[in-house]
């Protein structure tokens, strides 16, 4: 009797926070997982090293392919080799602040990179489901609170503009070419695997480093900036659920709660018995030219149709990040 064929998934941005968690989730669910990685001189890919070095899964149920969003031929080869049933598009320049310094690169990777993949999907011999991880930054200065799938896009950053373009192109290709193409509108989501250039990681790492005497103070921009912060593992579950739904729909993934940078710093430092006000300094140089206002999501649709729910609250997320950072720093000190 023939065994059922494993479903195949291709993930762009597999070395990132979301990509690594998604790879683990899909492998656990019995998928054959393929990931696209950029060819660089650095071979260490810390978030997926435990998968890469696992001989029981690497090149058996977990495969990596070199590719770049700027080079459609490399993406095409990865698609041909992997023959995916599902594509999760998570790659691209993902730092909002950096997009003001690198607007052309940001738009090239996010906007045109997404369009190139959509074009390639049109030519695939079999129907393939496509998930595009878009961002709450598409809303920018929203006219309604909270924001849902119908809220107009009014971005205020190059990153937000690029994501808005990509989001709209996914909708166009879904309607014009009948693709199973889904936008997951992801509000901010964090974890111990968050990149060091994001404010959540800057705060959790600094709290741990200051506690251990490695760092003296932390410089931040707008302490009053508010966001809807969730847990990354919950959001990758949402990605998978969105592609299992009976038809392609857009979904907002969010907690529906607003918290400030100041509140985050207070929780992080208090977890380690520190007074954040003694160490956190506001730095005007870190303020963004334009900052979105009150981005808070309404995930009613995802909860109703996908049975999706956030599992961790804001304080639990921040304390988990701080605890992971202090444990990592202590382990490095012992080596």
Q: Which among 21, 31, 139, 159 is annotated as catalytic?
A: 159
Asked if 8 contacts 85 with a C-beta cutoff of 8 angstroms, the reply is yes
DSSP-assigned letter for residue 110: I
Q: How far is CA 85 from the centre of its chain?
A: 21
CA–CA separation, 105 and 93 (whole Å): 8
Cα-based distances in Å from 48 to 16, 51, 129? 9, 5, 24
Task: Quote the tokens at residue 196.
Answer: 């060091």
**Two structure tokens written together for 297:** 């999501």
275-314 as b/e, with b when 16 or more CB fall inside 10 Å?
Answer: ebeebbeeeeeeeeeebbeebbbbbebbbeebebebebeb
The two three-digit tokens of residue 92, written as one number: 């691209």
Q: Out of 24, 86, 137, 190, which one is annotated catalytic?
A: 137
Which neighbouring-strand residues pair with 11?
A: 35, 88
| Residue 137 annotated among the catalytic residues of the structure | yes
Q: Is there a catalytic annotation at residue 31?
A: no
- Sign for the CA dihedral angle at 9, 42, 54, 21 comes to negative
Q: Is 135 a catalytic residue?
A: yes
Please identify which of the residues 94, 135, 204, 299 carries the catalytic annotation: 135
E-strand stretches of 136-228? 181-186, 189-190, 218-220, 226-227
Which residues are tagged catalytic? Answer: 135, 137, 159
């Amino acid at each position: 009797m023939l065994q059922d064929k494993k479903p195949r998934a291709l993930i762009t941005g597999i070395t990132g926070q979301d990509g690594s968690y998604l790879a683990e989730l899909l492998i656990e669910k019995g998928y054959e997982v393929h990931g696209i990685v950029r060819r660089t001189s650095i071979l260490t890919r810390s978030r997926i090293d435990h998968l890469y070095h696992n001989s029981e899964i690497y090149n058996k149920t977990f495969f990596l392919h070199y590719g770049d969003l700027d080079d459609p031929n490399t993406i095409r080869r990865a698609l041909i080799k992997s023959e995916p049933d599902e594509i999760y598009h998570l790659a691209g320049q993902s730092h909002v602040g950096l997009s003001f310094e690198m607007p052309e690169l940001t738009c090239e990777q996010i906007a045109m990179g997404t369009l190139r993949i959509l074009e390639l999907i049109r030519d695939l011999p079999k129907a393939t489901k496509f998930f595009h991880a878009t961002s709450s930054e598409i809303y920018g200065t929203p006219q309604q609170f909270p924001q849902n799938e119908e809220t107009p896009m009014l971005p205020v950053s190059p990153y937000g503009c690029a994501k808005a373009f990509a989001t709209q192109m996914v909708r166009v290709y879904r309607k014009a070419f009948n693709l199973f193409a889904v936008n997951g509108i992801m509000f901010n989501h964090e974890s111990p695997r968050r990149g060091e250039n994001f404010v959540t990681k800057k705060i959790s790492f600094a709290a741990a480093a200051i506690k251990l005497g490695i760092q003296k103070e932390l410089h931040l921009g707008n302490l009053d900036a508010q966001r809807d912060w969730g847990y990354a593992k919950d959001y990758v579950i949402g990605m998978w659920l969105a592609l299992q739904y009976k038809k392609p729909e857009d979904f907002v993934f969010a907690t529906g709660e607003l918290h400030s940078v100041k509140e985050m710093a207070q929780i992080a430092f208090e977890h380690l018995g520190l007074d954040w006000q003694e160490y956190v300094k506001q730095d005007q140089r870190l303020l963004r030219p334009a900052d979105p206002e009150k981005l808070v999501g309404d995930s009613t649709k995802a909860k109703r149709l996908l049975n999706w729910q956030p599992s961790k609250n804001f304080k639990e997320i921040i304390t988990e990040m701080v605890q992971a950072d202090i444990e990592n720093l202590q382990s490095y000190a012992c080596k």
